[in-house]
Chains A and B, each alone.
Chain A
Amino acid sequence: MRSHAKRLPSRPVILLLQLGVLIAFFLIWHVLTDTKILSPFFFGTPGAVLERTWKDFASGVIWYHLGITLLETALAFAIGTVAGIAFGFWFARAPLVSIVFDPYIKAVNALPRVVLAPIFALWLGLGIWSKVALGVTLVFFIVFFNVYQGVKEVSPVVLANARMLGANSRHLFRHVYLPSALSWVFSSLHTAVGFAMVGAVVGEYLGSAAGLGYRIHQAEGVFDTVGVFSGMLVLTIFVVLIDAAVTVIEKRLLHWRPQDQHSGQH
């Protein structure tokens, strides 16, 4: 299979190398700030950032903010996905609707969603719902386009075969259209979860009283670079963990599919 590819080292070796990159990054950062080539005021120091992060977790303050961001992410993801699936199906099955709305969908999708954040804050207040709304506008389009594609891409032969086997339109939805569309949705799961998170954090950043984005914004307001980097570190760890969880879910749900098939939009 991979006779042409160079042989890669074993998994533990790769993990070790990856860890090496991380340590090297912190080491260079440390040396540069320690020797004052980079000012610790502007760039923080890795020691201080790690210490701050540790303290935040130890004292428990960060958990509350993490919880808020997680809740917003989950809600944005759930609402955006359900709406995306519903509208994706509707548009794919009603050609007239999809043609009429096509330019508007494209126009709204082209709009940078950040500009909507103040509007949502105005409409929905500074609580979690303005952030959820922002996340939804991001997630919705990813899921929408993928479901649309998934329904359109159903093999006509598979469809004809199911009909010959006696499937009515309800069966076709459940046994043919839905699995096909879901395979596209799941292949865009990583992107969708990531965008739900972006919506939450950006929303918090622009105006809120809780969440990781709020923490980073607060730190920036008082030129607390260590606080900013610490917030970014927590955010990164959080994203990596969520992404790993998505990978597990994806593997479980898409085990029927050969590896490395289409990888969805975006």
Chain B
Amino acid sequence: MAEAAAPAPALQLEGVTCTFPSPDGRGRSYTAVQGASFTVADGEFVSIVGPTGSGKSTMLNVAAGLLKPSEGRALSFGQPVTGINPKAGYMFQAEALMPWKSALDNVAAGLEFRGVARAQARERARPWLSRVGLEGFGDRFPHQLSGGMRKRVALAQTLIVDPKIILMDEPFSALDVQTRQMMENELLDLWAADRKSVVFITHDLEEAIAMSDRVLVLSAGPGSRLIGEYRIDLDRPRDVADIRMTPQFLALHREIWGQLRDEVLKGYAQTKLR
């Protein structure tokens, strides 16, 4: 790909700190993320791994513009993020589909919000349903679909509005292993087709390595910091199931896990204390 002289990164976090008041309104406030700085280049697939409660989602919310950081700032393609980041698509961990809309209408929603007429939006949503393997399921409502199918709808819903950067918050964590690997491969295929930037949050190191160009490691909370950065120079295209058997993969896994393990133990001790 030909690159401009100094292309603005798809995402840039500068010293982002997020502090929340404690839930009961008194006592200490809770710092989820402490001074996080990183960049995601245009077209890059970056994963962020960290133990439970390490503020992974918080950072993503800052990048999406859903959350205003207490300190620092986020930039997307050189523009400071104030309010909803219009260049970003977000795939949530929890169920985010509108339960009162059919699968097709859910996929078409983003276009409708952007002013496309309803009939035309539905027409354009149809091929997207096929692309995520749900042809013929357009009339189903979310509760009539399996967990994996709902994630596919959510993926099509996010991609149809052509975001320049996709933020994914453990999107497949609720799926069984087989469905999950299938979805991971499909995501990689869709990503390879037009190389958008992706920030992929997960607590599963194998998933992170198998999919990414780069893996960032976050320390245990509270006050999580970025403590490691690893370039994943495995060949593409990849098959997430096969690649796990290669020696390069195992070497990378051993290296990153060596650092992550301590943090996971710390995080585990924290949750036990709470």
Is the beta-carbon distance between B110 and A166 smaller than 8 angstroms? yes
Whether A18 is near chain B, meaning CB under 8 Å from some CB there, is no
Is the beta-carbon distance between A167 and B113 smaller than 8 angstroms? yes
Is the beta-carbon distance between A165 and B109 smaller than 8 angstroms? yes
Grouping DSSP codes into helix (H, G, I), strand (E, B) and loop, the B interface class, with mixed when no group exceeds half, is loop
Selected from B84, B95, B97, B141, the residue in CB contact (under 8 A) with A164 is B84
Interface set of A (CB-CB < 8 Å, partner B): 155, 157-158, 160-168, 171, 175-176, 179-180, 183, 255-258
Chain B residue nearest to A183 in the complex (CB):
B100
Query: A158–B106 Cα gap in the complex (Å)?
Result: 11
CB distance from B83 to the nearest CB of A (A): 9
Is the beta-carbon distance between A161 and B86 smaller than 8 angstroms? no
Interface set of B (CB-CB < 8 Å, partner A): 64, 66, 84, 86, 88-90, 92, 94-102, 109-110, 112-114, 141, 143, 157-158, 161
Is the beta-carbon distance between A164 and B143 smaller than 8 angstroms? no
Is the beta-carbon distance between B110 and A158 smaller than 8 angstroms? no
Is the beta-carbon distance between A175 and B109 smaller than 8 angstroms? yes
Grouping DSSP codes into helix (H, G, I), strand (E, B) and loop, the A interface class, with mixed when no group exceeds half, is helix
A162-B113, A165-B157, A258-B143 given; A179·B88 CB < 8 A: no
A163-B84, A167-B113, A258-B143 given; A157·B92 CB < 8 A: yes
Is the beta-carbon distance between A165 and B161 smaller than 8 angstroms? yes
Contact partners of B161 in chain A: CB under 8 A: 165-166
Contact partners of A160 in chain B: CB under 8 A: 66, 90, 92, 96
Query: A2–B113 Cα gap in the complex (Å)?
Result: 43
Chain A residue nearest to B95 in the complex (CB):
A157
Contact partners of A157 in chain B: CB under 8 A: 92, 94-96
Contact partners of B110 in chain A: CB under 8 A: 165-166
CB distance from B174 to the nearest CB of A (A): 13
Between A155, A163, A165, A180, the greatest number of chain B beta carbons within 10 A of the residue's beta carbon is seen for A165
Given contacts A175-B109, A180-B100, A255-B141, 10 further A-B contacts (CB under 8 A): A157-B96, A158-B95, A161-B90, A161-B97, A164-B88, A165-B109, A166-B114, A166-B161, A183-B100, A256-B100
Is the beta-carbon distance between B143 and A158 smaller than 8 angstroms? no
Contact partners of B158 in chain A: CB under 8 A: 165
Is the beta-carbon distance between A168 and B113 smaller than 8 angstroms? yes
23 interchain pairs, CB-CB under 8 A: A155-B95, A155-B96, A157-B92, A158-B96, A158-B97, A160-B90, A161-B90, A161-B157, A162-B113, A163-B66, A164-B84, A165-B109, A165-B161, A166-B84, A166-B113, A167-B113, A171-B112, A175-B98, A179-B101, A255-B141, A256-B141, A257-B141, A258-B143
Contact partners of A163 in chain B: CB under 8 A: 66, 84
